[in-house]
Amino acid sequence: MLVKPRLCIKRVKLNTFWLAPLVCAILLVCFFISPKDVWNGLMSSTAINPIKILILFLSMTILSIFLDEVGFFKYLASAVVRKTGTNQFKLFTALFITVSIVTVFTSNDVVILTFTPFVCYFAKNAGINPVPYLVAQFVAANTASMLFIIGNPTNIYLATTSGITFLQYLKVMALPTIFAIIVAYVVMLLLFWKKLRKPMTKPTGEKVVIENKPLLIIGIVWLALCTVFIVISSYINFEMWIVAAVAVICLAVSVLIFILAKRKGARELGHTLKRTPWDLIPFVISMFVLVIALEQYNVTEKLASLFGESNPVITYGIASTLLSNLVNNIPMSVLFSSILSNLTSAVALPGVYAAIIGSNIGAFLTPLGALAGIMWLSILRDNNVKFNFLSFVKYGFLIAIPVLFAALLGLFLVV
């Protein structure tokens, strides 16, 4: 992933992160595990079904990307930046709060993809160092993503495979997320204090106008309705993935009706589908196959025994953070869901929430911690921002350690 994140075949660009897991999964099915077991796992009616989890995550991503295509996120960021004047502390705080709020209702990956180019653009125009704002944006996106179950695919996988509902999740994760956000903000202020003291001498951004307001309203309405129905899904006996899938279908139908009524094309929907991270499908399914193999050979059971049942918050919080940076946070989540299924519920549930914290906070320890980190560095390279692997690790280590323990402290107080 670090050496060759993309393959370019003529005009087609392919991300490489899913290729190795796919090859390994194919080899396992050919020589070690039964295709029938894999099929039964993929078609399972239980919560441990990667297809349902992928539909939920991709549906929420499509709703968010559509809003970005309409120009909503750029408009929002521009409005916030223009109102902060020349005070860098105000700008830093406003960006951190905006990214945190937007992430809560969308997802960390979407926010990183949409806000990072904008941050590079306004920092260049304002003649200021972009690093404090880029780090703040990245950290905020991967911290606030803990609050809702839909904020990160790892949240979705770990929580849904454990049968945790939206409101049950929120009740537990609210305090750890608040602790983590406060500590992250304070630590970054201390790190970037000298850089932020310098006043800006140029305007920070241009006014962004949304050209197609009806499409904006359509996008906001369906994202809002989807979020509301996901919150109450456990009370109306609808699974979250069904709610999200129906919302995307309704969005598409609404846009098509608008196109027919206005008799003019709208590229936003097509661009949204092109930008959707479809390569997560082979990645997650391949990792699911790998975990099936580990289960059949009793590896996950032995790992559960190795971790033990004492202090699950600390044990699984630290272990998930470290393992995320060895194998990436999505494979870690798939593996840990299997490990935790071998434990009693009294130990497994705190372990699940701790692993969720590790999967989010671990993202800013090193670029390997999450796909978001790899995408983020790639965007910085495309925008000629000097920020290498070692810089990422330096800032990541200084921020991740206090934020992780703040979040785990909040979880410990709740559970």
Confidence of residue 87 (pLDDT cuts 50, 70, 90): confident
Tell whether the torsion through CA atoms of 318, 347, 183 and 100 is positive or negative: positive
Q: Across 230-244, 269-283, 388-402, which has the greatest mean pLDDT? A: 388-402
pLDDT at 326 over 60: yes
What CA–CA distance (Å, rounded) separates 26 from 16? 16
Q: Is the pLDDT of residue 224 over 80?
A: yes
Please indicate whether residue 30 or residue 384 has the higher confidence score (pLDDT).
30
User: Could you tell me the pLDDT band of residue 205, with boundaries at 50, 70 and 90?
Assistant: low
Q: State the Cα–Cα distance between residues 170 and 179, nearest whole angstrom.
A: 14
| DSSP tag of 387 | -
202 has pLDDT over 70: no
CA–CA separation, 340 vs 218, rounded Å? 41
CB 337 within 8 A of CB 302: no
Q: 188 in a domain, yes or no?
A: yes
Residue 12, classed as helix, strand or coil, is strand
Does the residue 309 lie in any domain?
yes
Of 121-125, 295-299, 345-349, the least confident: 121-125
Residue 2 is assigned to a structural domain of this protein: no
Please state which of the ranges 54-58, 77-81, 100-104, 277-281 shows the lowest mean pLDDT: 77-81
CB within 8 A of 64, min separation 6: which ones?
106, 107, 110, 223
Residue 272, in any domain of the structure: yes
Q: Which domain holds residue 146?
A: 49-414
pLDDT score at 315? 94
Size (the chain), residues: 415
Question: Does residue 14 sit within a domain?
Answer: no
The string of pLDDT tens digits covering residues 136-177 is 999 999 999 999 998 888 998 899 888 899 999 999 999 999
Which pLDDT score is estimated for 204? 56
Place 408 in a pLDDT band, splitting at 50, 70 and 90. Answer: very high
Query: Which pLDDT belongs to residue 362?
Result: 93
pLDDT of residue 81: 76
Total tally of structural domains belonging to the chain: 1
Q: Tell me the average pLDDT across 118-143.
A: 88
Cα R_g (the chain), whole angstroms: 21
Looking at residue 46, its pLDDT comes to 64
Strands (E), 308-398: none
Q: Note whether residue 28 is domain-resident.
A: no
Is the pLDDT at 355 greater than 80? The verdict is yes
Tokens of 155: 């949240």
Res. 234 pLDDT band, cuts 50 70 90: confident
Percent of the chain at pLDDT > 90 equals 39
pLDDT value of residue 129: 87
Q: CA 170 to CA 147: how far, in whole Å?
A: 6
Q: What percent of the chain has pLDDT over 70?
A: 96
Are 369 and 142 contacting, i.e. CB atoms less than 8 angstroms apart? Answer: no
Task: Supply the angle between the helices 280-296 and 153-161 in degrees, to the nearest 10.
Answer: 40
Evaluate the CA torsion angle 164, 165, 169, 171 in order and state its sign.
negative
Measured CA to CA, the distance from residue 118 to residue 107 in angstroms comes to 17
Position 5 in a domain: no
Structure tokens at 42: 């993929």
Nearest to 240 by CA among 103, 57, 66: 57
The tens digit of pLDDT for each residue in 255-313 reads 999 988 887 667 888 999 988 888 889 988 888 888 888 888 888 889 888 888 889 99
For the segment 91-105, the average pLDDT, to the nearest whole number, is: 91
Local confidence band at 201 (pLDDT 50, 70, 90 cut-offs): low
- CA geometry: angle 101, 275, 278, nearest 5 deg: 100
End-to-end CA distance of the chain: 37
pLDDT at 203 over 60: no
Q: Looking at per-residue confidence, does 267 or 360 come out higher?
A: 360
pLDDT at residue 14, as a whole number: 80
pLDDT band at 206 (very low <50, low <70, confident <90, very high): low
Question: Is 316 among the domain residues?
Answer: yes
